[in-house]
Every structure is written in structure tokens, then in C-alpha cells.
A and B are shown apart, each in its own frame.
Chain A
Amino acid sequence: MSQKILTLAGIIITASILPVTSAQAAGECATGKTLEEGVLTIATGNPAYFPWVIDNEPAGGKGFEAAVAYAVAAQMGFEAEKVEWTSSSFDQAIQPGQKNFDFNLQQFSITEDREKIVDFSIPYYTSALAVIVRQPTIDAGVQPTLESLKSLTWGADANTTATPVIQELIAPESDPLLYDDTINVIEAMNANQIDATLLDLPVALYQAGAVMNDGVVLGQFAADESTSPDHFGLLMEEGNPIKACVDAALTALIDSGELAQIEAQWLQQATDVPMIR
């Protein structure tokens, strides 16, 4: 009996000590490497969009990227109240000089060229790219095949890696039109100026389902099949020593399956979107 109690007590003690020690160890990793001691400053876009951040309030922890940010912070040993949010545009994220964040997440695709200017963590998400069109285009007989996609007029967000993918993978007959953001791309589609665009699958599902009147996700390029898979990474200042801690935290989240859980919770799983051949 007494031994049982002892064992039980031992389990409780180890159970309560373990997370504390691992968190402390991780917390130590970031010591002296954050902008403000003891606080982790994270940046995202303003506005930040569904399903990455819900209601443009990253501090609410709702939405895929907000949840990932808090999970990484916790893994690094920062409690939720020690996380500060700030906003940054893409351009602010890549400008030379002092950054106002420890890391920045807003669906930054990791590319070799960008790596020369900033640092990226290991990927926290790999997105399939999806083709979105309007019902009239479907009625006109477009198919989810590369051949069929070539004859469409394409549009894309100029600030994303969708542009080279359209040009290299689909190689449409006419040059794509480019816009400042996804909202403008959708607007151009509504104005019948473009037929199709390429979006990250979760965004495509949201746009077609909740924003457009007659939007349809025509098909997807599998994340691993695509010639340029869209790996999202946390962006950090070039040479920021915190990268090692962030990578370690992400690795732990991937190994424990927590990252997959967050993904399942916030990103709609598309089972019925056909693959484009």
C-alpha cells in the first residue's frame, strides 16, 4: 500500500516535473535570443485571413497559424501570456535591418532565393495547390486536366509563388493577369476578366464555399506531386540564433503528432477534390 502510494507519488512527481523541465530547457534555448527577454514576439499579416487566423485576432489562438504559433511558443517554454503579437506585411518581413518580430508566419513559402535574404524554419505545413473557377466555366466544359487548363485565362496574387507555378506547370496560352491580393483576384473572376486562379487548397475551399457565389474548386495538384511544393515556413531575420530553438520546437510538435492534430482541427480536409492530371 505504502509502496503503491510512493509509486503513485513518484509518477505524479515525474509527470509534473517532466514537462516543466523540458519547457525550461527549451525556454533556456531562447534565452537572450528574443527581442524582449522572456517574451516571444510573433508577427502575422494584418488583416490575417481565415482559415489561418480567425477574425483577424491571432491572440485568440484560433485558426491554423495562430494555433501553430501558440504550440511552437509553448514548446519553446513561453506561456500564452508571454506571447506578443505584432503585424507585418510581406515587404516588412523581407526588408533589411532590425525586425520587429522573433518569427513571422503568414503562409510564407520556403524558396531557395528567399533563403538568401531571410531564414526559414523547417516547414510547418505543406499545401496542395488548388484550381478555382466559376460555375459558367464548368458549364463551358472545362476538365481537371492540364490540357484543359491551358486554354483558360489565368489570374493570381502577384505576391505568391502561384505565379511561377502557373507559368511553369500549366503554361497557359495567354499570360496570367496579376493582382495585389486574393480578394482582387476573386473580384477579377467575378468581373469575368479571368477564368481561373491557383490558391492554397484550404484558401480555395474557403473562397469557393463561403465567399464566391458560384465558385468551384476544380481540382488540385497534390502537395508532393507539384514541381514546386508549397512548404510554409516560419520566417526569421537572416542569421537569427533563435532558428535552432524554433526548429527544435517544430520537430517536437511533428514527432508528437500535435502539429497534425492542429492541422486536422483548423484546415478543412478535402476528400472530394479531384487530382489534376
Chain B
Amino acid sequence: MKEKRFLPDGWAVYVGLALLLLLGIGAFVFRQDFSFWEKRYLAEPPKNYSPVEWTLNDDLETYLSDQLPFRRVFVALDAQAQALTGRAVQLGAWPTGDAIVEKPVETDADTLLRRVAALRGFAGDTPCRFLTPPTAGMLKMGEMTAARRAVYELEAETYDAVVRQEGFIPLREAFESSAEPVYYRTDHHWNFEGAYLAYRAYCEAAGLEPLEKDDFEITDCGAFLGTTYTRSGLPFAKADTLICAEPKTPVTARFDGEAYDHLIFPEEAETYDGYAVYLKGNHGLLTVENPAGERGTLFLCKDSYANSLIPFLSAHYRRIVAVDARYYNGTFADALAEAGDAEEILFLYSMDSLANDTAVTRKLRAR
């Protein structure tokens, strides 16, 4: 008896080819300008080519790759296949327990110590402190296989060698002993709890009396899927919640030529970069003023980790001048001159920024 089939074999081939062609045509028909989940602009259709300077092949390939219909589904399928075959290492961020954790920072203690020495040299006689959080991976070593743990142990050794230097504010123990998660599940930044613990550790080092959480205005800004989720490409992750704090006393934030009477921007939670609820994201130079602060001016050299910490610190300083080397056109010296009478300096960099952010060393060298 003849076998019944949904489609005769041969014709299925041509149906398959037609589907492939539809995907190709779909890339032009359903073109999108921006990929929300990748947080980037997508390629535009290729145009204007001469046979001499021929890049149409590469440009069309990039375009089709960017605009492939159902691309998110395809990327997720690949990410899941990689994770299932043990190659999560490919994803740049690994599922660990209920979180997606970044790969270890590739650096060594000597490199980091050289960078720290350069920063210390910049500070000169002004009292300075360093705050570098342990990575989420270091805190989740207990949930890893032995082979993965070995790599994070190396990262932890490097981290410990650096943060035991004078001026570093210890954080690892406080983070490890926290009953609450201190990092987002889907993002590389510390969460509300982590930022608050860092704030308390800073206060202890700086001789300040830390406030309780209830002393701040707390806002629930909604759900959030962050960078490690995006980087991994994995389809499923439990979203985080953006909990934000700011002082109850009036504050003014100035950046990009504008002044604001608040530090939290809940509307940003709806955008592609939810973390921008804190201070509307990263800015080259940012000033936060709080006339009720007990201390004078803090000069803060920072990366994005500081964005959720600044609202806590602003409760204590009349003025915080924060410079982010990646977005600031001048040198650190220019920024310091702008700060005027800075009495304290805080260098707040993640281990990754400390190791790999060349903008920091460039801005220092230009002094």
C-alpha cells in the first residue's frame, strides 16, 4: 500500500525553496530601522555601487542578516542549541542558576594595578577611594561546574589582588553574605540591593552615617531585560524589576545642558535601555546638587555602575561631579577643574572597565 504523505517529496523541495525566497523578500518588505532587543540600529538597504569600489556583496549580506524575518527566533534557536551542546561559552554570557552571567574579565593583576596607579597619580593629594564591585560570576561560583568555577576562581584571585590595595573599599564579603540577590538576573549591573550595599560600604570608608532604605524615595519602575540577556540571545529569561531610590530632600541634576529636579526617570524603563531609569543613562559630565548635603564636592570618575549609586550618595554631598570617560570630550583634568573645589575623589569602575576601557587611560594621559 502506498504511503500517505502530506506533500509529495519532490514538491516539498520547491515549497522549501519558495519559503527561503519569501524570507529573502521579507527582509525588504518588513524592514525595521531599530532592533529593540539588540539595542542597535539595523542595516539599511544597499545603494550606490560602482564595480570599482564593490562592497555590495558584503553590504547585502549584512542587510539580510540584520533584516532576516523572525531573526529573534533564529538567534534564540541558535543560542539554545549552543547552550544545549555545552557551548554556552560562545554566547558571551552564561546561564547560571536563574541568572545569565557575563564571561570572566580577561585581564591580569599587573594590568589592573598599573591602571590603579595611574588613577592614584591623577588624584595627587586629594583624598581618593576606589570602588570596584566583584563580578556576578564570582558570587555565583557555587552554582557552577568545576571547570567553569576554575576560570572564575582565577578572576576572583585577580580581583582580590587588586582590591586589597590601599584605598579600595571592600565589597566582596558584604555581597557574598547578602540574603538578597545583589545583581540583576539579566543584566551585568548591580541591582537596588547591590547599589545600597555599596553605598553603605562607601559610607563606612568615608566616615559617613549611612541612611536606611526607608529614608529614600523608592520607585518601582517596572520590568527589565538587560544586557546579559541580550548578549546571550537566549529566548527565555525571568525579567528583573527596576527598583530605584533617590533622596527625599530636593536635588538638581544637570547634564547635557539641561537641569532636572529628580534623579530617576521611570519613562526610560519602556525604552531599549531600561537601566537608563537612573539619571537617564550615561553622560560625559553630570552634576548632582543637594543643598542639604553634609559634605562638599565629590569628584566621581565612573562607569555605568555609578548611575544607581549616585542617588544614594547625593544624600550626603552638596555637589557630586561625575565624569564618564567614554562620553566626555575633555580630559579628566578638565572635568576636575570644572568641579572646582573637589574635596574627595571616588573612582568607581567595574573590573571590566578598569581592565578594558581605554578611554580612561586616554583621558588620564592627556592631562
Chain B binds chain A: no
